[in-house]
Amino acid sequence: MKQEELQKLQKLAAHIRFDAIQAIKNVGQGHIGGSLSISDLLAVLYGKQMKFNADDPNWELRDRLVLSKGHAGPALYSALAISGFFDEEKLSTLNKGGTSLPSHPDHLRTPGVDATTGSLGQGTSQAAGIATGLKLRESKNFVYLIVGEGELNEGQCWEAFQYIASNKLDNLIVIIDDNKKQLDGWTDDVIKQWDIASKMRSFGFNTIQVKGDNLESIDDGIEYLKTTKDTANCMVLDSVKGAGVPLFENMENNHSVKFNDDELNSQTDEALAKLQSIYEG
Protein backbone atom coordinates (compact mmCIF):
# COMPACT_ATOMS: atom_id res chain seq x y z
CA MET A 1 0.00 0.00 0.00
CA LYS A 2 1.34 3.43 -0.94
CA GLN A 3 1.95 5.91 1.85
CA GLU A 4 -0.66 8.37 0.56
CA GLU A 5 -3.24 5.59 0.43
CA LEU A 6 -2.39 4.54 3.99
CA GLN A 7 -2.74 8.14 5.19
CA LYS A 8 -6.13 8.38 3.49
CA LEU A 9 -7.33 5.27 5.34
CA GLN A 10 -5.91 6.54 8.65
CA LYS A 11 -7.89 9.74 8.24
CA LEU A 12 -11.01 7.80 7.31
CA ALA A 13 -10.69 5.56 10.39
CA ALA A 14 -10.30 8.64 12.62
CA HIS A 15 -13.31 10.26 10.94
CA ILE A 16 -15.44 7.15 11.50
CA ARG A 17 -14.43 7.09 15.15
CA PHE A 18 -15.15 10.80 15.57
CA ASP A 19 -18.61 10.60 14.03
CA ALA A 20 -19.56 7.43 15.93
CA ILE A 21 -18.50 8.83 19.31
CA GLN A 22 -20.12 12.20 18.64
CA ALA A 23 -23.40 10.55 17.64
CA ILE A 24 -23.44 8.30 20.72
CA LYS A 25 -22.49 11.18 23.04
CA ASN A 26 -25.23 13.28 21.51
CA VAL A 27 -27.91 10.70 22.31
CA GLY A 28 -26.45 10.17 25.80
CA GLN A 29 -25.35 6.55 25.67
CA GLY A 30 -24.51 3.76 23.27
CA HIS A 31 -22.20 1.02 22.11
CA ILE A 32 -18.82 2.73 22.00
CA GLY A 33 -16.47 -0.24 22.48
CA GLY A 34 -17.60 -2.48 19.66
CA SER A 35 -18.02 0.44 17.27
CA LEU A 36 -14.42 1.55 17.75
CA SER A 37 -12.96 -1.96 17.46
CA ILE A 38 -14.19 -2.24 13.85
CA SER A 39 -13.47 1.33 12.74
CA ASP A 40 -10.20 0.42 11.03
CA LEU A 41 -11.87 -2.51 9.28
CA LEU A 42 -14.68 -0.28 8.02
CA ALA A 43 -12.12 2.26 6.80
CA VAL A 44 -10.46 -0.41 4.66
CA LEU A 45 -13.78 -1.77 3.38
CA TYR A 46 -15.37 1.55 2.45
CA GLY A 47 -12.12 3.34 1.65
CA LYS A 48 -10.59 0.70 -0.60
CA GLN A 49 -12.00 -2.81 -0.87
CA MET A 50 -15.78 -2.63 -1.35
CA LYS A 51 -17.65 -1.84 -4.55
CA PHE A 52 -20.60 0.45 -3.90
CA ASN A 53 -22.51 3.40 -5.35
CA ALA A 54 -23.67 5.89 -2.73
CA ASP A 55 -26.03 7.48 -5.27
CA ASP A 56 -27.67 4.09 -5.86
CA PRO A 57 -27.59 2.10 -2.60
CA ASN A 58 -29.29 -0.89 -4.28
CA TRP A 59 -26.88 -0.97 -7.21
CA GLU A 60 -26.91 -4.56 -8.45
CA LEU A 61 -23.13 -4.77 -8.85
CA ARG A 62 -22.33 -3.66 -5.32
CA ASP A 63 -20.62 -5.73 -2.66
CA ARG A 64 -22.76 -6.46 0.40
CA LEU A 65 -21.93 -5.94 4.06
CA VAL A 66 -23.74 -7.73 6.88
CA LEU A 67 -22.98 -6.25 10.30
CA SER A 68 -24.18 -9.18 12.39
CA LYS A 69 -22.94 -7.45 15.57
CA GLY A 70 -25.62 -4.86 14.97
CA HIS A 71 -24.94 -2.94 18.18
CA ALA A 72 -21.92 -1.46 16.35
CA GLY A 73 -24.35 0.33 14.05
CA PRO A 74 -23.00 3.81 14.89
CA ALA A 75 -19.66 2.92 13.26
CA LEU A 76 -21.41 1.60 10.15
CA TYR A 77 -23.62 4.69 9.94
CA SER A 78 -20.53 6.87 10.20
CA ALA A 79 -18.82 5.00 7.37
CA LEU A 80 -21.95 5.27 5.23
CA ALA A 81 -22.38 8.99 5.89
CA ILE A 82 -18.75 9.79 5.15
CA SER A 83 -19.01 7.69 1.97
CA GLY A 84 -21.95 9.81 0.79
CA PHE A 85 -25.00 7.59 1.37
CA PHE A 86 -26.61 10.35 3.44
CA ASP A 87 -25.67 13.65 5.05
CA GLU A 88 -23.42 13.47 8.10
CA GLU A 89 -25.78 15.79 9.93
CA LYS A 90 -28.25 12.89 10.15
CA LEU A 91 -25.90 11.18 12.59
CA SER A 92 -27.18 13.56 15.26
CA THR A 93 -30.55 11.78 15.06
CA LEU A 94 -29.11 8.39 16.08
CA ASN A 95 -31.67 6.34 18.02
CA LYS A 96 -34.11 9.24 18.36
CA GLY A 97 -37.81 9.27 17.52
CA GLY A 98 -38.48 9.16 13.79
CA THR A 99 -34.82 8.61 12.91
CA SER A 100 -33.62 6.63 9.92
CA LEU A 101 -30.65 5.59 12.08
CA PRO A 102 -31.97 3.20 14.77
CA SER A 103 -29.59 1.78 17.36
CA HIS A 104 -29.23 -1.39 15.24
CA PRO A 105 -29.10 -1.41 11.42
CA ASP A 106 -32.38 -1.67 9.52
CA HIS A 107 -32.31 -2.39 5.78
CA LEU A 108 -35.70 -0.73 5.28
CA ARG A 109 -34.75 2.52 6.97
CA THR A 110 -31.12 3.35 6.21
CA PRO A 111 -29.56 3.84 2.76
CA GLY A 112 -26.56 1.55 2.34
CA VAL A 113 -27.58 -1.02 4.98
CA ASP A 114 -27.81 -4.42 3.29
CA ALA A 115 -29.25 -6.45 6.17
CA THR A 116 -31.33 -5.79 9.28
CA THR A 117 -29.32 -7.09 12.23
CA GLY A 118 -29.01 -6.90 15.99
CA SER A 119 -30.43 -10.24 17.12
CA LEU A 120 -27.02 -11.79 17.58
CA GLY A 121 -26.19 -14.85 15.49
CA GLN A 122 -28.74 -14.19 12.76
CA GLY A 123 -26.41 -12.19 10.55
CA THR A 124 -24.36 -15.30 9.77
CA SER A 125 -27.40 -17.01 8.28
CA GLN A 126 -28.39 -13.88 6.35
CA ALA A 127 -24.91 -13.52 4.89
CA ALA A 128 -24.89 -17.20 3.90
CA GLY A 129 -28.21 -16.74 2.12
CA ILE A 130 -27.09 -13.59 0.32
CA ALA A 131 -23.84 -15.25 -0.80
CA THR A 132 -25.75 -18.32 -2.01
CA GLY A 133 -28.10 -16.15 -4.04
CA LEU A 134 -25.21 -14.28 -5.65
CA LYS A 135 -23.52 -17.59 -6.47
CA LEU A 136 -26.65 -18.92 -8.16
CA ARG A 137 -26.79 -15.75 -10.26
CA GLU A 138 -23.08 -16.15 -11.08
CA SER A 139 -22.45 -12.68 -9.67
CA LYS A 140 -18.86 -11.60 -9.01
CA ASN A 141 -19.78 -9.52 -5.96
CA PHE A 142 -18.49 -10.22 -2.46
CA VAL A 143 -20.33 -10.41 0.83
CA TYR A 144 -18.53 -9.24 3.98
CA LEU A 145 -19.86 -10.57 7.28
CA ILE A 146 -18.73 -8.91 10.54
CA VAL A 147 -19.35 -11.05 13.62
CA GLY A 148 -18.39 -10.39 17.23
CA GLU A 149 -16.50 -13.07 19.12
CA GLY A 150 -19.03 -12.91 21.96
CA GLU A 151 -21.70 -13.48 19.34
CA LEU A 152 -20.13 -16.87 18.63
CA ASN A 153 -21.81 -18.06 21.83
CA GLU A 154 -24.86 -18.38 19.59
CA GLY A 155 -25.12 -21.86 18.08
CA GLN A 156 -26.74 -20.43 14.96
CA CYS A 157 -23.35 -19.01 13.95
CA TRP A 158 -21.78 -22.45 13.86
CA GLU A 159 -24.67 -23.96 11.91
CA ALA A 160 -24.25 -21.21 9.33
CA PHE A 161 -20.47 -21.63 9.26
CA GLN A 162 -20.88 -25.33 8.59
CA TYR A 163 -23.21 -24.50 5.68
CA ILE A 164 -20.82 -21.86 4.32
CA ALA A 165 -17.84 -24.21 4.41
CA SER A 166 -19.77 -27.18 3.04
CA ASN A 167 -20.93 -25.12 0.07
CA LYS A 168 -17.52 -23.48 -0.42
CA LEU A 169 -18.97 -19.97 -0.53
CA ASP A 170 -15.75 -18.23 -1.56
CA ASN A 171 -17.68 -15.03 -2.32
CA LEU A 172 -18.32 -14.57 1.40
CA ILE A 173 -15.58 -13.34 3.74
CA VAL A 174 -16.33 -13.96 7.40
CA ILE A 175 -14.65 -11.38 9.63
CA ILE A 176 -14.64 -12.08 13.36
CA ASP A 177 -14.03 -9.08 15.62
CA ASP A 178 -12.18 -10.71 18.51
CA ASN A 179 -12.14 -7.71 20.86
CA LYS A 180 -12.12 -9.92 24.00
CA LYS A 181 -15.18 -8.34 25.67
CA GLN A 182 -18.95 -8.52 25.53
CA LEU A 183 -21.90 -7.06 27.45
CA ASP A 184 -21.22 -8.99 30.66
CA GLY A 185 -17.45 -8.47 30.72
CA TRP A 186 -14.45 -10.39 29.41
CA THR A 187 -15.63 -12.92 26.85
CA ASP A 188 -13.59 -15.81 28.26
CA ASP A 189 -15.18 -15.20 31.67
CA VAL A 190 -18.62 -15.67 30.13
CA ILE A 191 -17.90 -18.65 27.85
CA LYS A 192 -14.30 -19.53 27.05
CA GLN A 193 -13.57 -19.09 23.36
CA TRP A 194 -10.39 -21.18 23.06
CA ASP A 195 -8.56 -20.53 19.78
CA ILE A 196 -11.10 -19.03 17.38
CA ALA A 197 -8.87 -19.30 14.32
CA SER A 198 -8.25 -22.99 14.98
CA LYS A 199 -11.97 -23.58 15.47
CA MET A 200 -12.75 -21.93 12.13
CA ARG A 201 -10.11 -24.04 10.41
CA SER A 202 -11.64 -27.16 11.92
CA PHE A 203 -14.96 -26.08 10.41
CA GLY A 204 -13.34 -26.00 6.95
CA PHE A 205 -12.40 -22.34 6.64
CA ASN A 206 -9.22 -20.99 5.13
CA THR A 207 -8.43 -18.71 8.08
CA ILE A 208 -5.98 -15.89 8.72
CA GLN A 209 -5.48 -13.70 11.78
CA VAL A 210 -4.50 -10.02 11.69
CA LYS A 211 -4.21 -7.12 14.13
CA GLY A 212 -7.48 -5.24 14.22
CA ASP A 213 -5.83 -1.81 14.21
CA ASN A 214 -3.34 -2.49 11.40
CA LEU A 215 -4.83 -1.03 8.24
CA GLU A 216 -2.22 -2.53 5.95
CA SER A 217 -2.60 -6.03 7.42
CA ILE A 218 -6.39 -5.84 7.16
CA ASP A 219 -6.14 -4.71 3.55
CA ASP A 220 -3.59 -7.39 2.63
CA GLY A 221 -5.69 -10.02 4.35
CA ILE A 222 -8.87 -9.11 2.50
CA GLU A 223 -6.97 -8.98 -0.79
CA TYR A 224 -5.63 -12.48 -0.15
CA LEU A 225 -9.01 -13.93 0.84
CA LYS A 226 -10.71 -12.43 -2.22
CA THR A 227 -8.34 -14.37 -4.46
CA THR A 228 -8.67 -17.69 -2.58
CA LYS A 229 -11.25 -19.78 -4.39
CA ASP A 230 -13.18 -23.01 -3.86
CA THR A 231 -13.11 -22.70 -0.06
CA ALA A 232 -14.75 -20.78 2.75
CA ASN A 233 -12.65 -17.84 3.97
CA CYS A 234 -12.31 -16.18 7.36
CA MET A 235 -10.33 -13.32 8.90
CA VAL A 236 -10.01 -13.11 12.67
CA LEU A 237 -9.31 -9.59 13.90
CA ASP A 238 -7.14 -9.54 17.02
CA SER A 239 -8.72 -6.32 18.23
CA VAL A 240 -9.25 -4.20 21.32
CA LYS A 241 -12.61 -2.95 22.52
CA GLY A 242 -12.59 0.84 22.28
CA ALA A 243 -9.59 0.74 19.92
CA GLY A 244 -8.04 3.99 18.78
CA VAL A 245 -9.16 6.08 21.75
CA PRO A 246 -7.21 5.43 24.98
CA LEU A 247 -10.04 6.85 27.09
CA PHE A 248 -12.34 4.05 25.98
CA GLU A 249 -9.68 1.37 25.51
CA ASN A 250 -8.82 1.63 29.21
CA MET A 251 -12.41 1.80 30.42
CA GLU A 252 -13.41 -1.42 32.19
CA ASN A 253 -17.08 -1.35 31.18
CA ASN A 254 -16.81 -0.04 27.64
CA HIS A 255 -19.43 -2.17 25.87
CA SER A 256 -22.05 0.55 26.31
CA VAL A 257 -21.11 3.94 27.74
CA LYS A 258 -23.38 6.49 29.42
CA PHE A 259 -22.40 10.15 29.09
CA ASN A 260 -23.86 11.36 32.38
CA ASP A 261 -20.65 12.52 34.01
CA ASP A 262 -19.06 15.95 33.53
CA GLU A 263 -15.50 14.60 33.72
CA LEU A 264 -16.22 11.88 31.16
CA ASN A 265 -17.83 14.40 28.85
CA SER A 266 -14.80 16.67 29.12
CA GLN A 267 -12.37 13.82 28.45
CA THR A 268 -14.49 12.71 25.50
CA ASP A 269 -14.40 16.21 24.03
CA GLU A 270 -10.60 16.11 24.25
CA ALA A 271 -10.53 12.74 22.50
CA LEU A 272 -12.85 14.04 19.79
CA ALA A 273 -10.58 17.04 19.21
CA LYS A 274 -7.61 14.72 18.70
CA LEU A 275 -9.51 12.57 16.23
CA GLN A 276 -10.69 15.65 14.35
CA SER A 277 -7.12 16.93 14.08
CA ILE A 278 -6.14 13.61 12.46
CA TYR A 279 -8.82 13.45 9.76
CA GLU A 280 -8.71 17.17 9.01
CA GLY A 281 -4.91 17.37 9.11
DSSP H/E element including 258: strand 257-258
Please count the residues of the chain: 281
* pLDDT for the residue numbered 136: 96
d(CA 208, CA 192): 20
Checking if the pLDDT of 281 tops 90, the result is no
Mean pLDDT of 251-272: 94
Q: Structurally, how many domains does the chain consist of?
A: 1
Checking if the pLDDT of 72 tops 90, the result is yes
* pLDDT for the residue numbered 85: 97
Checking if the pLDDT of 74 tops 90, the result is yes
* pLDDT for the residue numbered 183: 87
Q: What is the CATH number of the domain that holds 196?
A: 3.40.50.970
Mean pLDDT of 178-202: 93
Report the predicted TM-score, pTM, of the whole model to 2 decimal places: 0.96
d(CA 242, CA 252): 10
Contact criterion met (CB below 8 Å) for 3 and 216: no
* Kind of pairing between the strands at 143-148 and 257-258: unpaired
Q: What is the DSSP string of 72-91?
A: GHHHHHHHHHHTTSS-GGGG
Report the candidate in 104, 111, 125, 15 with the shortest Cα–Cα distance to residue 62.
111
- At 138, phi and psi to the nearest 5? 60, 35
Residue-number span of the structural domain to which 165 is assigned: 3-280
